[in-house]
Structure 1
Amino acid sequence: MTRAAEPSRRTILAAAVAAAATGAAGPASAATGTRSTQGPSSLVDNRAWTSYTDWCSGTAQGTRAVAGARPGLVIAAPAGTADYTDPHTQKTATWEYATWTSPLHRLSVPSTEVIASWNAKTPAGTWLQVELTGTYSDGTDTPWYVMGRWAAGDQDIKRTSVDGQTDKKSTVWTDTFSIDDAASGLRLAAYRLRLTLYRTPGTKGTPTVWRLGAMGSDIPDRFTVPASTPGLARELAVPRYSQEIHAGQYPEYDNGGEAWCSPTSSQMIIEYWGRKPTAEQLAWVDPQFADPQVCQAARFTYDYQYGGCGNWPFNAAYAATYKDLQGVVTRLGSLTDLETLIAAGIPAITSQSFLKSELTGAGYGTSGHLMTVIGFTADGDVIANDPFSVDDGAVRRVYKRSEWETIWLRTKRYNASGKVVSGTGGVCYLYFPARPTPAQRRALAAVGVR
């Protein structure tokens, strides 16, 4: 998180979420598990490849699908070798690689933005790259865009987004494909994703990818959103961690404190699901530092190009490195959607920006901040674990429902200088078991995630 007076890197880079669109956000449809709708207005399309049938449906060059309780994709026989010069270490290495390209997915919501996410393990000596190509609504095609170069560890490559990718119709801003001029009416109509799996030549290691997908959306410009009606009073027992007690720690991972809202929130939910790093994994952390698992989360979500820990899919991928967890990035339509998840025992990490005066009781303003929604009061107000707190004991907050819903769902807002800037339009991370209960599966489907 950064203060309102100090625009975040994401704020500087972000294009407008959407323009010249109509309609308002609403609850997701449970019918298909792929889209969020309110009446005739479609806003969000989710597609994920997760099953053995899914992995067999793509075009494989050197990869194979693996069946089992958690189907995945691995290297079978390398398609070739390639040199990669890591831009953050300047080291060049040769890697064996294999690829898998998804079938064409036609977006039910012709989109102004697309965010990919993936779940995988990458043993030492392996890593992966995710790319996207698509067809615009005018019939022309995008180039292949790199959506992330990722490894669970940092010994082989430095995980990174790739700047400077544009064809003058669209641009990739860190982790988000964005139409450059949404007001023109241009949209992305369809896309393919490509996975490239890498390993050290002559070895038998391989990444295993369990989930690959993307969320496309076309959220209308809005400064306000319709108020939802409270429908749930429940609070989940989610661990509480402060980012602020880490201020000044590990400058190589963006210096702790305000910069660590995303990994701190991620760690809370990882531990809610009963997972945490081992003592051996935490041995690198200074023993004088409290909550060393937050330092671990910051290190292993850090994007060396972005220069911070706020890369959305990198956080979801980090969560999925823990046994039998999944992580996705999506957008939701209202607090009703969050109530659906909380009722099934699924907390959510949400992204919002606001002035100090816009969120009663926060005591700060921000151009971009992540917090964890853990429940609702009897009056329908939001119970959040807000990591921007002086210590762990101060993390639990209650925020007014209407204020919180607005700062999370709007796509336009005024900053402290009175300038119109973008909002996140309902972005959230969802972490949940690889094998959800029937109730959890229904709740996820109800918000468009399968």
Structure 2
Amino acid sequence: MSQVHHHGWQVQALSPSSKAGQANSFEAGTLEGTQLTGSGLTLQQPVGALDYTDPFVDGTTSTYHVAHWTSPLMASDFAFHELVSSWSARTPPGTWVELSARVAPPGSSESSQCGDAAEGRTNRGGGQADEGDWFVLGRWADNTSTIHRTTLPGQHGASAYVDCDVLTAKDEAGFGSWQLRVSLHRAADTDATPYVLSVEAVVSRWAVADGERSASQRPSVLPPTDSAAWGTVLDVPTYSQTLHRGEYPQLNAGGEAWCSPTSTAMVLAYWRRGPSPADYAWVDSTYADPWVDHAAACTFDYGYDGCGNWSFNVAYAARFGLIARVTRLRSLEEAERFIAAGVPLIASVSFADGGLTGAGYSTNGHLLVLVGFTNDGDVVVNDPASHLVASNDEVRTSYNREEFERVWLPTSGGTVYVIHPPEHPIVTEGQAR
């Protein structure tokens, strides 16, 4: 079985019933020109400036004032191989945020594990990073009026590299500690500020290399055991990504490229949250389910050139007042606890032809919504691929339990998006937090 640890920091108002107290508050970190308010972490007094040229527009360079919040140094009780971050932020026009992380090998002394947060350099992509440098995991804005949200391809160091939304070890030794930083930016000609409500990360021991692990690293599929979730199917609306094939070529033309935003849209609808008609009024009126197109536009990673960025999808969901994070589970038994609590999960899978009986397709990477279990313990999903049929009626289906675990756990490390209202009971069983 894998080892997984999740930790985050937030505005305390997000979880008034939390027993974690100070340890989960932004107050536990270091403020550098930022201020903690009831509305979130804000930019109070700039500590630097950045001349930034958005590579996805006309090449104009703009100057932004910058301030930071840095997490405490987090020592792991196991050597981990991957880190995935999540965040919730609001970015008024003229503002954006950058999420960064840095890691250190097991056994490093505290002074050298991650370096000094205030003086650490940032790897701007496309080159070698020195140990102690910050790896950028995302430049995020709610819309594209200020910058185009993006990851930074080409970041690599002696022991780590960034694969889109995942900071990954280069060898089995892995890492022993980690640290997050959020940098708040605002245009030099404005007093506006972004608002950051939460920052978090999940670290896990199973590293993924080229979408596959060695046989020795693969989890054994647990035999099904009776569960309160068996026979439970959550009433999650069904949307087909295949209905959107050919729409908006600049966003990868829908279809198979939109599995993640389509899944996110389904879960938002389940919680009765999501964009207003005014928000998606820009979508062609002849297109079905325009909120799916809107989700694709708001999660599109211009550096990755796709909508499948895990962190960007949960950041989009968090805009609607929801707790949204990327995490990893170790079995369907852990997933059952979420279903029993009324929380659907968006799961990342991949498989060759025949790997998932009844799917009707193969995939190098796909997102779907786990909505329940049959009476016999098989999984019930809203699969946006809809058997490659352009119909919302083809979305709800069931898959064999053991086959599903094999296309989910070894390929993505059990990656799921967990999305729910702040007042909903929090499922923590099976995870260190």
Q: TM-score range by the shorter chain?
A: 0.7 to 0.9
After alignment, is 343-352 or 93-102 more displaced? 93-102
**Matched length:** 386
Matched, 1:156 2:146: yes
Unpaired segments ≥5 residues, structure 2: 13-21, 114-130, 207-215
Name the CA distance, whole Å, in 2 between partners of 1:359 and 1:145.
36
1:372 pairs with one of 369, 374, 379: 369
Q: Which amino acid aligns with 2:46?
A: P
State how far apart, in whole Å, the 1-side matches of 2:145 and 2:292 are: 20
Structure 1 residues 368-400: Cα deviation after superposition (integer angstroms, max 9, x where no partner):
111000001111111000000121011000111
Tell me which residue corresponds to 2:44: 76
Letter in 2 for 1:432: H
What is the identity percentage for the equivalent residue pairs of Structure 1 and Structure 2? 42
Give the one of 22, 29, 33 matched to 1:62.
33
- 1:18 alignment counterpart: none
* Corresponding residue number in structure 1 for 2:355: 358
Residue type of the partner of 1:180?
K
Shift of 1:188: 1.1
Partner Cα distance (1:326, 1:206) in 2: 21
- Counterpart AA for 2:403: E
Q: Distance in 2 between matches of 1:248 and 1:80?
A: 44
**Residues in 1 aligned to 2:430 and 2:304: alpha-carbon distance in whole angstroms:** 29
Shift of 1:242: 0.2
* Match in the other structure for 1:216: 203
Quickly say closer, same or farther: Cα 1:448–1:50, change in 2 above 3 A.
farther
Q: Does 1:135 align with 2:104?
A: yes
**Cα distance in structure 2, aligned partners of 1:226 and 1:375:** 18
Q: 1:290 to 1:449 in 2, by over 3 A?
A: farther
Matched ranges for 1:353-432 at <5 A = 353-389=350-386, 390=389, 391-410=391-410, 423-432=411-420
User: 1:336: which partner in 2?
Assistant: 333
1:51 deviates by 4.1
| Corresponding residue of 1:38 | none
Please state if 1:226 is matched with 2:246. Answer: no
Instruction: Provide Cα deviations, 1:377-429, integer angstroms capped at 9, x if missing partner.
Output: 1111110000001210110001111111221112xxxxxxxxxxxx1121111
Give 1:447 deviation, angstroms.
4.2
**Structure 2 counterpart of 1:199, one-letter code:** R
SS in structure 1 at match of 2:147: coil
Counterparts in 2 of 1:245-256, with a 5 A limit?
245-256=243-254
Report the residue type matching 2:392 in the other structure. D
Taking a change above 3 Å as real, the CA distance of residues 245 and 343 of structure 1, as seen in their structure-2 partners, is: same
Deviations 1:246-271 (A, max 9, x none): 01111111110000000000000011
8 Å Cα contact 1:136-1:142 kept in structure 2? no
CA distance in 1, matches of 2:226, 2:163: 35
Q: 2:423 aligns with which of 431, 435, 444?
A: 435
Secondary structure of residue in 2 paired with 1:445: coil
The alpha-carbon deviation at position 110 of structure 1 amounts to 2.0
Q: Residue 236 in 1 paired to residue 234 in 2?
A: yes
Moved more, 218-227 or 271-280: 218-227
Partner SS, residue 300 of structure 1: helix
Question: C-alpha displacement at 1:58, in angstroms?
Answer: 1.3
Find the partner of 1:287 among 285, 297, 306. Answer: 285
How far does the alpha carbon of each residue in 1:200-249 deviate from its partner, in whole angstroms, 9 at most, with x for none? Answer: 22423211111101110002611753334241220100010000010111
Q: Which amino acid aligns with 2:379?
A: V
1:87 pairs with 2:85: no
Relative contact order (alpha carbons < 8 A, sep ≥ 6): 1 or 2 greater? Answer: 1
Matches within 5 A, 1:183-222: 186-219=173-206, 221-222=217-218
Q: Supply the distance in 1 between the matched residues of 2:428 and 2:140 (Cα, whole angstroms).
A: 28
SS at match of 2:347: strand
Q: 1:123 aligns with which of 81, 84, 92?
A: 92
In structure 1, the residue matched to 2:4 is 44
**What is the rounded CA distance, in whole Å, between the counterparts of 1:252 and 1:378 in structure 2?**
43
Q: Distance in 2 between matches of 1:82 and 1:364?
A: 46
1:180 to 170, 180, 183: 170
Measure the CA separation in 2 of the matches of 1:244 and 1:358.
Answer: 20
**TM-score of the superposed pair, with normalisation by structure 2:** 0.86
- List gaps (5 residues or longer) in structure 1: 1-23, 26-42, 411-422
Deviates more, 1:131-140 or 1:248-257: 131-140
What is the CA-CA distance between 1:138 and the residue it aligns to? 5.2
How far 1:152 sits from its partner (Å)?
A: 1.0
How much has 1:56 moved relative to structure 2? Answer: 1.5
Partner Cα distance (2:152, 2:327) in 1: 21
CA distance in 2 between counterparts of 1:91 and 1:384 reads: 45
Residue 5 of structure 1: aligned partner: none
One-letter code aligned to 2:429: A
**Does the Cα contact within 8 Å between 1:230 and 1:336 map onto a contact in 2?**
no
